[in-house]
Amino acid sequence: MGMNMLVNYDLEPLFYEITDRAPAGPRQVHRDITPIFEIIYPQLNNILNYGDREELVLLTVYDRESWTEWDTADVDELATACGFPRPETYSFERDQLGDIPFPEDNFEGYVVRFDNGFRVKLKDPRYVKAHKLLSGSTTRRVIEVLRDPVTDLETFAEGLAPAFRASLDDAVALVRQRYSQIEGAARAQHARLLEAVTTGVRKDQALWTTENVPADLRGLVFGLLDGRDISPGLWKLTEASLSETEDGQI
């Protein structure tokens, strides 16, 4: 059954447990083929929510002598005989690949198979962002999601596995709290400046700011004086502040 294809050998008992529940287990399949499976179980992915699913999805089959891939119809027939599910299939023209729609949530992406058997993965952009966060919930990665004008965080988080959703929520809350603290401090200093310097002369404002405002907040205070958007500076200070933790981890 091509067990050497499994990445994690600790999964071998689960592999046989699942196949033994099928109408025809792997020991009943002739030995001159190599079937390719994707194994799905609740602990497989911290991003997608698989619920209680435990199953082997038959992706394709190769003939061991010629190492040629079976036709789809033959793979379907074997899957039906053995009781293995098959992946959902969709048909697109090559010029449509750039506009393939992705479902709203709980979706990793597509595997595109060309007529010559060549395959490429098209990942859902939301999954890619979540995977970056999962691989290391650094300050920078959380801020990238929060700053992205296209990404609605609530929509982005819907459908994520509960454990990852909780971790993401904690990280986002910490970033937002620090952002608010820095913004509050900058606005408080701006209010003090306007109260202390009533001449409206820029030189007087600059002198007072240099003498009374912490160095990291001066750019924000001048930004408020000029009526500019200070959010880029706020995000920069937020990242710098939180990155002082070990390895930038939240």
Q: Is residue 120 part of a domain?
A: no
- Tokens linked to 249: 């981890």
Q: Is residue 108 part of a domain?
A: no
If phi > 0 it is left, if psi is from -120 to 50 it is alpha, else beta; for residue 220 that is alpha
Q: Is residue 119 part of a domain?
A: no
Q: Is residue 101 part of a domain?
A: no
Distance of CA 34 to the CA centre of its chain: 32
Residue 74 and residue 16 share a domain: yes
In order, the DSSP letters of 34-82 are EEEEEEE-TTS-SSB--TT--EEEEEEEEETTT-PBPPHHHHHHHHHHH
Contact by Cβ (8 Å): 58, 78: yes
pTM: 0.52
Residue 142 and residue 66 share a domain: no
Residue 243 and residue 148 share a domain: yes
Q: Structural domain of residue 225, as residue ranges?
A: 130-248
Contact by Cβ (8 Å): 223, 164: no
Q: Is residue 208 part of a domain?
A: yes
Residue 69 and residue 168 share a domain: no
* Total of domains in the chain: 2
Kindly give the confidence (pLDDT) of every residue in the chain, 250 residues in length, as a single tens digit, with 9 standing for 90 and above.
333 333 444 666 666 666 666 655 554 556 678 888 887 777 665 567 777 777 888 888 888 888 888 888 988 888 888 788 898 888 777 777 777 777 766 777 888 888 778 888 888 777 776 666 655 556 677 787 788 766 666 666 665 666 667 777 777 888 889 999 999 999 999 999 999 999 889 999 999 999 999 999 999 999 999 999 999 999 999 988 887 554 444 4
Relative orientation angle of helices 215-226 and 202-212, to the nearest 10 degrees = 150
End of a domain among 36, 53, 87? 87
Task: Report the CATH number at residue 54.
Answer: 3.30.470
